[in-house]
Amino acid sequence: MMNIENNTSISIEPNLKNYASLTKSFDWNKERGHLDGLPGNKGLNIAYEAVGRHAKGPNKNTVALRWIQKNYAVKDFSYHDLDELSSRFANVLSSLNIKKGEKVFSLTGRIPELYIAALGTLKATSVFCPMFSVFGPEPIFQRLSKGDARVLVTTKELFEKKVKQLLDRLPSLQFILLTDEKQHANKKILSLSKLMEEASGAYTIPPTDPEDPALLHFTSGTTGMPKGALHVHGAVLMHYITGKYVLDFHEGDVFWCTADPGWVTGTSYGIIAPLVNGVTNIVDEEEFDAVRWYSILEQQEVSVWYTAPTAIRRLMRIDEIPKDKYNLHRLRLICSVGEPLNPEAVIWGEKAFGMPILDNWWQTETGGIMIANYLSMIVKPGSMGKPLPGVEAAIAEVTDSGFHLITEANKQGHLVLKKGWPSMFRNYLHEEERYKKCFRGDWYITGDLAKKDEEGYFWFVGRADDIIKTSGHMVGPFEVESALMENPAVAEAAVIGKPDPLIGEIVKAFVVLKKGTEPTENTKLEIIGFARKKLGPAVAPKEIDFIDVLPKTKSGKILRRLLKARELGLPEGDVSTLEQS
């Protein structure tokens, strides 16, 4: 595998200049000193660090949030604007008698009210929980019910189509705040704009302990109800640090995270991290469109771009080199998260943008980036990178009866993280026993399998429950999928294990072909032969099905377990986050 030097055309010295040196000297308490804390030494509040402190300083009139509407119209909000508007929302919650720790949910597209509600809820020390606007009524009910929702911020259309029918089943839901209604419908269904007009723009954030609950993010399980991962205000230190060292925020940066706040990246890095670091945050109301995206990168002079492998693979399918057609002179860093980034995509970044796309790894449960590739380090395409300074990651053998760390290089095992990073989730809501099972002593068991090479780079193998056992081999889907994507006919691929009475499981691939390639038997045989040469006959797929679209979540994760369920005629489980059927 080739290594890539990180040499972008923008000559800005990275915040993380020497990985080894910073890792050795890193101190969480020292980094905590870069945050202000609430005035009067009254604790640590995410919203104060994100907007309050900037509104009182030199960033007061800096554009904090630039909202690009579907028609390309732009509306800017300065740090002062966001501070005042979020204070109004906090006062709205006070007027409704919503107390500390109570849950405020959102169900909207990417509109300003979503971001204002998030920050206002955090100011009020209530707990903010965003949902995808594409959810149907049942997944909405599951989250509102399990999350003990007191307030829901939504639009009139979404309320009428998806929420109204649920009200009789949600006795704890006290208020519906409609973002686009001018008048209150009744004592429960209220106009948010009217409430905001009546509320004061001044608000004093109450004392906030770093361990006070702040954010609730639901993750979909394979079956049954989704899990609600609870995060605290102290997580803001992780958002600050990762913005500084991974996303490399500098004064004057324009940042664009394409993720929807309905999943954790869209909150941690689509709201909090850029604001805490005082940069301009781009929010696009529209969904993916290649030309639109490239135009936004050009017109908004985006300097740091954070997106997902799914989007990158879509862009790769277009026969176009964006740096030759668009003026992207300000763009100096592209990062990716959601699914592991295939080596071909990292290398494509060099061709398309003049820089490699840097992968990083984390989970809803970790609350922030844990392992990453950095501007100052050599990139090994296909690698997750190295742990963030201050984070201890390791490979371990984990069984029902035992746990021990693996020190041997390149040996596959469970990826584990040592407790102590500030954004670690503090519970699965109402599921204490399930939470406890995630830990062995001081180590969090991520559920992912990985390996660590001689130079300390981590390499993703697959989810523990996705591993394929074939003829005595343990095969990680990512390895096979990456090899398949090196074939010039393959746009995307997903791999599952299909039960076989002789060898345990066979490796079966689902392949999306590039435009212009015919899904013939000869194409199938050619791809299988290509994979056998790359991987060997024991690991290469023995069966291939051509499909038009891989099932993915809205966050870009390939739903391999859904492919397997459909292949075997099994129940599909929770598909509430499915991007498209």
pLDDT value for 318: 87
Q: How far apart are CA 415 and CA 480, in angstroms?
A: 20
- Both tokens of 209, joined, read 């302990």
**Greater confidence, 500 or 267?**
267
pLDDT value for 483: 86
pLDDT digits (tens, 9 = 90+) for 86-126: 999 999 999 999 999 999 999 999 999 999 999 999 999 99
For the cut 90, the answer to whether the pLDDT of residue 464 exceeds it is: no
Enumerate helices (H) and strands (E) in the chain, giving the number of each.
Answer: 20, 28
Of the candidates 132, 202, 128, 137, the one whose C-alpha atom is nearest the C-alpha of residue 163 is: 137
pLDDT value for 572: 74
pLDDT value for 547: 94
pLDDT value for 426: 98
pLDDT digits (tens, 9 = 90+) for 240-258: 999 999 999 999 999 999 9
Alpha helical stretches, state H, 304-342:
309-316, 322-325
* Other CB atoms within 10 A of residue 500 CB: 14
Q: How far apart are CA 566 and CA 575, in angstroms?
A: 12
**pLDDT category, 571, cuts 50, 70, 90?**
confident
The mean per-residue pLDDT over the stretch 252-274 comes to 96
pLDDT value for 574: 64
Q: Which fold has domain 32-452?
A: Rossmann fold (3.40.50)
Q: How far apart are CA 346 and CA 483, in angstroms?
A: 14
- Both tokens of 577, joined, read 């986050």
Taking the model in full, what pTM does it have? 0.87
Residue 405's beta-bridge partner residues? 396
In whole numbers, what is the pLDDT of the chain averaged over residues? 92
Q: Degrees (nearest 5) of the Cα angle 73, 118, 368?
A: 100
Q: Tell the residue number behind the tokens 């296909």, with chain if given.
A: 382
Alpha helical stretches, state H, 96-231:
112-123, 137-146, 156-158, 192-198
* Other CB atoms within 10 A of residue 25 CB: 10
Parts of the chain belonging to CATH 3.40.50.12780: 32-452
Residues composing the chain: 581
Alpha helical stretches, state H, 339-476:
343-353, 432-436
**Which DSSP letter does residue 379 get?**
B
- Radius of gyration of the chain, Cα coordinates, nearest whole angstrom: 23
* Other CB atoms within 10 A of residue 1 CB: 11
Q: Can you say whether the dihedral through the CA atoms of 195, 201, 204, 209 is positive or negative?
A: positive
Parts of the chain belonging to CATH 3.30.300.30: 467-568
pLDDT digits (tens, 9 = 90+) for 341-396: 889 999 999 999 999 999 999 999 999 999 999 999 999 999 999 999 999 999 99
Q: Looking at domain 467-568, which of 3.10.310.10, 1.20.1740.10, 3.30.300.30, 3.10.290.10 is its CATH number?
A: 3.30.300.30
Say what the alpha-carbon torsion angle 423, 399, 407, 425 is, to the nearest 10 degrees: 0
pLDDT value for 472: 64
Q: How far apart are CA 112 and CA 74, in angstroms?
A: 11
Q: Tell the residue number behind the tokens 């050619």, with chain if given.
A: 526
Q: How far apart are CA 429 and CA 424, in angstroms?
A: 14
Q: Which helix (H) or strand (E) holds 292?
A: helix 290-299
